Amino acid sequence: MLKISPHVVLTKTEDAAVLLDKKSGTYFRINPMGVSVFEMLAAGRTRDEVVGELCARHPEAADRIPGDIAKLVDAMRRAKVLV
């Protein structure tokens, strides 16, 4: 199960959002889709559930969503947003 680091907070702006690691001071900028992914993971949803939900919301992009989510999750792990 993917978990959000306890040191990470989400800060939204008008056009984007930033995940800030309060412990290290590093940040990770995400787009609106990334915010949706982060919020669903923070709520305890699995990656497969997130993919299913986003495919249902955006059927026109269903062929790209699984790969995009995998890339985002990998990037969040490298940035230590996910533990």
| Whole-number Å distance between alpha carbons of 28 and 23 | 13
User: What residues pair up with 12 in beta bridges, in sequence order?
Assistant: 17
d(CA 50, CA 56): 10
Mean pLDDT for each 10-residue chunk of the chain (83 residues)?
92 88 91 93 95 97 97 92 90
**pTM, two decimal places:** 0.88
- What are the domain boundaries of the chain? 8-78
Residue 7 in contact with residue 24, Cβ under 8 Å?
Answer: yes
In terms of phi and psi (left: phi > 0; alpha: psi -120 to 50; beta: otherwise), the region of 64 is alpha
